[in-house]
């Protein structure tokens, strides 16, 4: 796949202001920490070479390769996704410099937690992890479409690079998300290969977002109080999550055998996991994978763990019902996962309300007292064992 040439369309940067101090030539590049020397219990995941996608028979080959992963594992890697390593490196550099801004600057862009609006800066320490506060900072950026135009402001560092961020984000959507949705359609034996693509066009309103993320180092006492992250098992809420390769270990997947395995850092890859919405659209047949981020191995304890992620979601007006013309789903006899018709917009709001508001979440989880919470219309999330 060739490097994208997508045009930027929707960002207006103030031409009057000199932002040249933020040119990449003037920003200290991000350098990844070294990989761990420890031998962890690594997950065995398939790698899809997206370069094969446009070759004759390529889609069918890739779909075959995905069959087991999407039904049983929920995680895989992709490589050759049409972005140059330099573009990826620059995004890590922006993440680094963003998180190094003073809190007084970052808080100008703070998330509106109460409104369940996750775009902007999410400060660390908002949620409890076992007996202590979390160590995670996030900056989420919505799609560059009219629906979000002018709705969010950015620090000058990012304003100077919004065109590249837009190119990057659109490339992830066009080069990774849409091809994967066609492969899912093949796996599901849908008569229309574009079925899922039509629910995920870039220009129509949806809650896709691009994310910079950082996990700050913890002391021994903090790790202990957080149970080393072991209580953090969860599923993501959207269609797929794309996670750029970074070397600090900690991401673990819960396997069908009930064991956690660790995802390794494969050079030049994006790790993809399937999430709740694609599972809703297939009555649970496509697997929304349970995962967590635990303490890295000791030889990486001193490092921050910086991440680049993209969260794909269908249009807000999508009804979260199982697809009806899939031979595979018909044979499996899948059922709707909600008691009533639920739209994507409602689902996002319900799950984000819990994620962004620890006080509301604590009350709601306590309602049943059995380690489950009703997210929406009879669909429950659960706590996973440590
Ligand atoms: O940072 C990672 O490796 C995964 C993060 C994650 O699971 C999430 O943000 O939902
Ligand atoms: Fe996640």
Residue 79's pLDDT is 98
Q: What local confidence, expressed as pLDDT, does residue 130 receive?
A: 92
Q: Which atom of ligand 1 is nearest to the CA of 292?
A: 7
315 lines ligand 1 (CB under 6 A): no
User: CA–CA separation, 113 vs 380, rounded Å?
Assistant: 22
Is there a domain that residue 222 lies in? yes
Are the CB atoms for 77 and 273 separated by under 8 Å?
no
Does ligand 1 have an atom closer than 6 angstroms to the CB of 291?
Answer: yes
Gap between the Cα atoms of 14 and 12, Å rounded: 6
With the most atoms of ligand 1 within 8 angstroms of its CB, the residue from 293, 296, 354 to mutate is 293
Helix, strand, coil share (%) of the chain residues, nearest 5: 35, 20, 45
Number of the ligand 1 atom closest to the C-alpha atom of 263? 3
Is residue 1 in a domain? no
Angle between helical axes of 162-172 and 85-100 (0-180°, round to 10): 130
* pLDDT tens-digit series, residues 193-244: 999 999 999 999 999 999 999 999 999 999 999 999 999 999 999 999 999 9
244, 289, 307: which to mutate for ligand 1, most atoms within 8 A of CB?
Answer: 307
First and final CA of the chain: distance in angstroms?
41
> 6 in a domain, yes or no?
no
Sheet bearing 260-262, strands edge to edge: 260-262, 251-254, 291-293
- Provide the number of structural domains found in the chain: 1
Looking at the domain assignment, is residue 12 inside a domain?
A: no
Verify whether ligand 1 is closer than 6 Å to residue 74 (CB atom): no
pLDDT digits (tens, 9 = 90+) for 137-176: 999 999 999 999 999 999 999 999 999 999 999 999 999 9
Task: Please name the residue that has the structure tokens 């763990």.
Answer: 305
Distance 243 CA to ligand 2 centre (A): 9
For 54-80, what is each residue's pLDDT tens digit?
999 999 999 999 999 999 999 999 999
In the reported structure, the alpha carbon of residue 34 is separated from the centroid of ligand 2 by a whole-number distance in angstroms of 23
**What confidence tens digit (pLDDT) does each residue in 289-319 have?**
999 999 999 999 999 999 999 999 999 999 9
228 in a structural domain: yes
How far is residue 320's CA from residue 317's CA, in Å, rounded to a whole number?
A: 9
Range of the domain at 81: 22-382
Mode of pairing for the β-strands spanning 75-79 and 120-122: unpaired
Using the mean position of ligand 2's atoms as its centre, give its distance from the Cα of residue 279 in Å: 15
Question: What's the 3-state SS for 38-89?
Answer: CCCCECCCCEEEHHHCCCCCHHHHHHHHHHHHHHHHCEEEEECCCCCHHHHH
Contact 185, 193 (CB under 8 A): yes
314-347: per-residue pLDDT in tens?
A: 999 999 999 999 999 999 999 999 999 999 999 9
Q: How far is the CA of 304 from the centre of ligand 2 (A)?
A: 18
Quick check: 90 and 22 in contact, CB under 8 A? no
Contact predicate 339/201, CB 8 Å:
no
The protein residue whose alpha carbon is closest to atom 3 in ligand 1 is 251
**Residue 313 maps to a domain:** yes
- What's the average model confidence in pLDDT over 114-133? 96
Nearest-angstrom CA–CA distance, 150 and 147: 9
Under DSSP, the state recorded for 17 is: S
Tell me whether residue 177 is in a domain. Answer: yes
- Please state, as a whole number, how many other Cβ atoms lie within 10 Å of the Cβ of residue 127: 16
Instruction: Specify the ligand 1 atom closest to the Cα of 305.
Output: 1
307 lines ligand 1 (CB under 6 A): yes
> Nearest C-alpha to atom 10 of ligand 1 is from which residue?
236
102-114: average pLDDT: 98
Contact between 352 and 358 (Cβ < 8 Å) = no
Q: Which residues contact 227 (CB under 8 A, 6 or more apart)?
A: 129, 130, 131, 386
Q: Which residue has the tokens 């981020």?
A: 293
CA distance 288 to 237: 9
Q: Tell me the C-alpha distance between 22 and 325, whole Å.
A: 51
Counting from 1 in the atom list of ligand 1, the atom nearest the Cα of 291 is 7
For residue 13, the model assigns a pLDDT of 55
Is residue 251 lining ligand 1, measured as CB closer than 6 Å? yes
Is 2 or 125 the better-scoring residue by pLDDT? Answer: 125
Q: Which CATH number does the domain housing residue 319 bear? A: 2.60.120.330
Whole-angstrom Cα distance, residue 195 to residue 174? 15
- Kindly report the pTM of this predicted structure: 0.96
Question: Does residue 13 fall inside a structural domain?
Answer: no
**What share of the chain has pLDDT > 70, as a percent?**
96
Pairing verdict, β 75-79 and 47-49: parallel
């Amino acid at each position: 796949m060739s490097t994208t040439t997508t045009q930027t369309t929707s960002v207006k940067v103030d031409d009057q202001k000199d932002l040249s101090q933020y040119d990449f030539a003037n920003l200290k590049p991000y350098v990844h920490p070294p990989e761990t020397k420890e031998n962890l219990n690594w997950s065995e995941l398939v790698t899809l070479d997206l370069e094969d996608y446009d070759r004759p028979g390529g889609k069918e080959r890739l779909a075959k390769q995905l069959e087991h992963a999407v039904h049983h594992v929920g995680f895989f890697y992709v490589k050759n996704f049409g972005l140059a390593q330099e573009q990826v490196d620059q995004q890590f550099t922006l993440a680094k410099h963003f998180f190094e801004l003073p809190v007084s600057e970052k808080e100008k862009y703070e998330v509106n937690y109460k409104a369940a609006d996750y775009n902007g800066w999410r400060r660390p320490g908002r949620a409890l992890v076992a007996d202590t506060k979390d160590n995670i900072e996030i900056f989420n950026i919505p799609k560059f479409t009219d629906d979000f135009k002018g709705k969010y402001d950015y620090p000058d560092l990012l304003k100077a690079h919004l065109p590249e961020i837009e190119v990057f984000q659109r490339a992830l959507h066009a080069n990774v998300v849409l091809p994967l949705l066609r492969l899912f359609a093949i796996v599901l034996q849908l008569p229309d290969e574009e079925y899922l693509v039509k629910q995920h066009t870039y220009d129509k309103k949806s809650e896709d977002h691009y994310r910079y993320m950082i996990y700050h180092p913890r002391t021994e006492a903090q790790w202990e109080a957080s149970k080393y992250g072991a209580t953090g098992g969860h599923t993501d809420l959207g269609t797929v999550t794309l996670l750029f390769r970074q070397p600090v270990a900690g991401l673990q997947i819960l396997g069908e055998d009930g064991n956690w395995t660790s995802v390794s850092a494969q050079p030049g890859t994006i790790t993809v996991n399937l999430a709740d919405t694609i599972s809703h659209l297939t009555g649970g047949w496509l697997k929304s994978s349970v995962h967590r981020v635990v303490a890295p191995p000791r030889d990486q304890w001193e490092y921050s763990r910086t991440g680049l992620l993209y969260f794909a979601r269908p249009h807000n007006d999508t009804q979260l019902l199982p697809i009806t013309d899939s031979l595979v789903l018909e044979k499996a006899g899948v059922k709707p996962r909600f008691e009533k018709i639920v739209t994507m917009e409602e689902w996002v709001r319900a799950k984000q309300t819990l994620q962004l508001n620890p006080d509301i979440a604590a009350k709601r989880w306590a309602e049943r007292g059995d380690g489950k919470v009703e997210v929406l219309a009879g669909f429950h999330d659960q706590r996973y064992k440590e």
